[in-house]
Amino acid sequence: MAVGNSTYISLMMFCLILGYCCFILTEYIVAIVLMIVGIYIGSKALPRGRLSPNNKAVFITGCDTGFGHSLALRLDQLGYLVYAGCLFPDRENAKLLSTSSTTDRLTIVACDITSEESVLAAKETIQKSLPKGFCLWAIVNNAGVWTYGEIEITQMETIKRIAEVNVYGTIRVTKAFLPIIRRCKGRIVNVGSLGGRISAIPGGGAYCMTKYAIECFNDTLRYEMSPWGVKVCLIEPGQYGKSTNIGINNIENISEEIWKNVPEDVKKDYGKEHQDGITNIYKKGREYCYGDATPVVDSMVDSVTSRTPRHRYLVGGLIMTYLQVYAMELIPSWLGDHQYIGIMNYMVPLPAYLKRYINK
């Protein structure tokens, strides 16, 4: 009996000591976490220095409208030699960009990033016109397209087209210009999206998968270019559909085009009510989009001009969106699925087939 009591006492003491150690350890963990958070927040406020624009040129894709258009003008004003890649160099937007410049440092360059021939021609144009003593300091892979629609409803050709621009176009431009950038120990700036961090956006699969690919491409390239002294940055804009021409302002036409090409048996199973429910999410979301692209352009400028640019620039978006992004990266997938399905059931009518099945 006495042996039993001493055993219990020993176990009790062991548990108390272990509990105390865990308490101390937990305090240290909390302290370390708080220190990391404090350093991270403080680092955003610390001056990182600015590079001189002298003898530096920048090539930006997708300058017809949106972020690229604004960035070209901003870097031009800062003293950089700017080559603004435009898909339609003879149209009004490109002409407006050219006339908006108050210097002789901005040049419009025709560039279709889905065409190897066009990208190489743009490279040749830039190399031939680059003044003596200048180097191509940075490329900004800004060009991109957007669509929405569930995977089964979205046409395969649409999925290919989105990937051709957002993924292969970015890779194509980077590979073409990388030898020049390496010699300058310059910058590569890729434009991703919040959609590359979280795919729980109803109907966002075709677009989000391309931005997930850019996340991986950016990380891989950053590792590979580190020994060369080339810095690789990623811009991740939030809800900025109003400030670009990426498609959110044309939701109704996109919806009609998507539905027109859906096979009849799939139309019957999903039903127009369900498709309209997805469309309405984007219509309502359009109201919360930012019309001013300045924060995104500021981040792009910093990625090009800072001595120590950040690896990632997560820009804009509602507070709940940020929380969702970080939560979805931390919580178990089954819990994330439950959240996504709950949102879908609340915001979007069930497909017609499932409604009929439930009502039986």
Residue 207 known to be catalytic: yes
What is the rounded CA–CA span in Å between residue 83 and residue 109? Answer: 6
Q: Is 274 exposed, middle or buried (0-12, 13-18, 19+ CB in 10 A)?
A: buried
Annotated active-site residue in 148, 207, 212, 313: 207
Which structure tokens are listed for 351?
Answer: 């497909």
- Which H helix or E strand runs over 187? strand 187-191
Which structure tokens are listed for 40?
Answer: 């991270």
SS3 200: coil
Which is nearest to 177 in space by CA: 133, 232, 223, 105? 232
Backbone angles phi, psi at 216, to 5 degrees: -65, -45
Q: In sequence order, what DSSP letters do the residues of 61-81 get, joined into one string? A: S--SSHHHHHHHHHHHHTT-E
Helices 333-347 and 319-330 pack at an angle, to 10 degrees, of 140
The answer to whether the CB of 176 falls within 8 A of the CB of 123 is: yes
The residues assigned a catalytic role are 207
